[in-house]
Amino acid sequence: MIQVGPYQLRNSLFLAPMVGVSDTPFREICAEQGAGLTVAEMLTSNSELWHNERNRLKRIKPKGSSPHVVQIAGSNPQLMADAAALNAELGADAIDINMGCPAKKVLKKAAGSALLKDSDLVSQILKEIVSRVDVPVTLKIRTGWCPKSRNGVEIAKIAEDSGIQLLTVHGRTRECRFKGQAEYDTIAAIKQAVSIPVIANGDIDSPETAAAVLQHTSADGIMVGRAAQGRPWIFREIEYYLATGSLAPKIDLQTRLELILSHVMKLHSFYGDLKGVWYARKHVAAYVAELAGSREFMKHFNTIETPAEQLKQIQEHFAFLDAYNGAEAA
């Protein structure tokens, strides 16, 4: 089990902070499905922008017992420390610092993974933030700026010396973005170099991969990102596999339906009828992508404009799938 400050986590399986995906409703669903920790979508450290609706919603604490972790991004040590302190005052249980995002609009502001080019600035930012808040501070990085400059071990040592309590490492450089395969050798080297908990991230899309990455890196836990969208039960699958060495029984249609309905209702409640319907479309698309008739279903589903009709159409589609599977089995 991993301890983050005063918080004992139920397991070492984390949900990654994905912009446009890891909102409060999705974090609640993933926690219900076995994630020991979920991290909020990246939030700018410029608090003057927090009043817009999107940034306001990013700071809402999910229901449940897991710590509320707010991730901030920026490059100005003072502004980032101010943002961390304000989030802590507003109820964040921990602050995560983003030094891993490869997005161009983030890099233009010398934030995210761009910071990995300047170890002195990294040290300044981390020390400033840790000194300003009483809650645990964690950090997410990549293995470096580019394959020729994998300085993850150096940054990890700076993080530990600065008072960072947990480190997540994505097994790619900024230059790699999300292309190619993640490499775990650097994560293993980082784990050997520091004594704080290290979480491995990148291309973990199955229980078997999770187990292999943990064995290869000796990391204290793993973080799942894109593989959780449309499949939040992956956390239960991984937890089961790590405990038993066997694959969990495949999720059945009824369980999947109940989970989707729960998630969609959370979205409607959280965002309101209009935007809740919009956000539900991409999540439902991910949930049904591998199922029969998904293309035709989504073509119609994307035209629906009311919460009640969305719920009705999901139930009807799953009734069709049940009948379809019954016919296939006959």
Q: Looking at the structure, tell me whether residues 186 and 313 fall in a common domain.
A: no
Active site residue 30: no
Q: Are the C-beta atoms of 115 and 125 separated by less than 8 Å? A: yes
Q: Looking at the structure, tell me whether residues 239 and 302 fall in a common domain.
A: no
Q: Looking at the structure, tell me whether residues 261 and 227 fall in a common domain.
A: no
What pLDDT, in 10s, does the model give residues 48-89? 777 788 788 888 899 988 899 999 999 999 999 999 999 999
What pLDDT, in 10s, does the model give residues 229-248? 999 999 999 999 999 999 99
**Boundary of a domain, candidates 244, 266, 297:** 244
Looking up tokens 């060495």 gives: 245
Q: Looking at the structure, tell me whether residues 212 and 285 fall in a common domain.
A: no
Q: Looking at the structure, tell me whether residues 157 and 273 fall in a common domain.
A: no
pLDDT of residue 329: 53
Q: b/e map of 309-319 (b: 16 or more CB within 10 Å)?
A: ebbebbeebbe
Start-to-end Cα distance in the chain: 46
Sort 330 into a burial class: Cβ within 10 Å, 0-12 / 13-18 / 19+: exposed
Q: Looking at the structure, tell me whether residues 42 and 176 fall in a common domain.
A: yes
**Rounded (to 5) percent helix, strand, coil in the chain:** 50, 15, 35
Residue 4 has phi, psi (to 5 degrees) of: -115, 100
Q: What tokens were used for 259?
A: 């989970």
Q: Looking at the structure, tell me whether residues 166 and 267 fall in a common domain.
A: no
Q: Are the C-beta atoms of 33 and 63 separated by less than 8 Å? A: no
Kindly give the parts of the chain with pLDDT less than 50: 330
Q: Looking at the structure, tell me whether residues 316 and 196 fall in a common domain.
A: no
pLDDT of residue 144: 85
Q: How far apart are alpha carbons 197 and 323 in whole angstroms?
A: 48
Domain residues for the domain of 223 are: 3-244
State how many domains the chain has: 2
Residue at 18: amino acid letter: M
pLDDT of residue 330: 47
Q: What tokens were used for 51?
A: 């009043």
| Catalytic choice (30, 101, 146, 176) | 101
pTM strictly above 0.85: yes
pLDDT of residue 106: 62
Q: Looking at the structure, tell me whether residues 193 and 279 fall in a common domain.
A: no
Q: How far apart are alpha carbons 35 and 278 in whole angstroms?
A: 25
Q: Looking at the structure, tell me whether residues 306 and 257 fall in a common domain.
A: yes
Q: Are the C-beta atoms of 236 and 210 separated by less than 8 Å? A: no
User: Measuring CA to CA, which residue among 133, 130, 120 is closest to residue 196?
Assistant: 130
Q: Looking at the structure, tell me whether residues 231 and 261 fall in a common domain.
A: no
Q: How many helices (H) and strands (E) does the chain have?
A: 12, 11
Q: Looking at the structure, tell me whether residues 12 and 154 fall in a common domain.
A: yes
Tell me the pairing of strands 13-15 and 37-38. Answer: parallel
- CATH number of the domain at 306, please: 1.10.1200
Angle at the Cα of 220 from the Cα atoms of 250 and 3, rounded to 5 degrees: 105
